[in-house]
Amino acid sequence: MPLPPFQVFLEEHRDRVFRFLVASVGPHDAEDCFQDTFISALRAYPRLRPDSKLSAWVLTIAHRKALDVHRARARHAIPVDELPERGVEDQPRDGEHGLWTSARDLPAKQREALLYRFAGDLPYADVAAAMGVSEDAARQSVSQGLKKLRKELVG
Amino acid sequence: MSELEKALRRDAVVADLDALTHRFAERAAGEGLLDIAYAELDSPLGRLVAASTDRGLVTLSYADSGVDPVLERLAAMISPRVLEAPARLDDVQREVDEYFEGRRHDFDLPIDWALVHGFTARILQATARIPFGEVSSYRGVAREAGNERAVRAAGNALGANPIPIVVPCHRVLRTGGALGGYTGGVERKKHLLALEGVLPR
- pLDDT tens by residue, chain B, 201 residues: 788 888 777 766 556 788 889 899 999 999 999 999 999 999 999 999 999 999 999 999 999 999 999 999 999 999 999 999 999 999 999 999 999 999 999 999 999 999 999 999 999 999 999 999 999 999 999 999 999 999 999 999 999 999 999 999 999 999 887 888 898 899 999 999 999 999 987
> Taking 90 as the threshold, does the pLDDT of residue A127 lie above it?
yes
Which residues, at least 6 apart from B128, have a Cβ–Cβ distance to it below 8 Å? B111, B167, B168
> Taking 60 as the threshold, does the pLDDT of residue A95 lie above it?
no
Do the chains contact at B80 and A150, CB–CB below 8 Å?
no
* Greater model confidence, B16 or A111: A111
First-to-final CA distance of chain A: 50
Q: How many Cβ pairs within 8 Å bridge chains A and B?
A: 106
Residue among A11, A19, A31 minimizing CB distance to B13: A19
Amino acid at B55: R
Q: Which of A1, A3, A6 to mutate to test the interface with B (most CBs of B within 10 A)?
A: A6
CA angle B22, B55, B88 (to 5 degrees): 25
B169, B172, B193, B195: the catalytic one is B169
What pLDDT, on a 0 to 100 scale, did the predictor assign at position B200? 87
What pLDDT, on a 0 to 100 scale, did the predictor assign at position A91? 44
- H-run or E-run covering A9: helix A6-25
What pLDDT, on a 0 to 100 scale, did the predictor assign at position B175? 84
Collect all residues of chain B within an 8 Å Cβ-Cβ radius of residue A20: 12
First-to-final CA distance of chain B: 66
> Taking 90 as the threshold, does the pLDDT of residue A89 lie above it?
no
Percentage with pLDDT > 70 across chain A: 86
Are the C-beta atoms of A11 and B20 separated by less than 8 Å?
no
> Taking 70 as the threshold, does the pLDDT of residue A12 lie above it?
yes
> Taking 80 as the threshold, does the pLDDT of residue A97 lie above it?
no
What pLDDT, on a 0 to 100 scale, did the predictor assign at position A90? 42
pLDDT band for A96, please (50, 70, 90 cuts): low
Nearest Cα neighbor of B124 from B159, B93, B73 is: B159
Q: Catalytic site residue B144?
A: no
Angle between helices A27-44 and A54-76 (to 10 degrees): 130
ipTM given for this complex:
0.88
pTM of this prediction exceeds 0.90? no
Distances B47 to A6, A80, B146, B184 between C-alpha atoms, Å: 22, 61, 35, 11
Strand stretches in B91-168, DSSP E: 136-137
Collect all residues of chain A within an 8 Å Cβ-Cβ radius of residue B82: 5-7
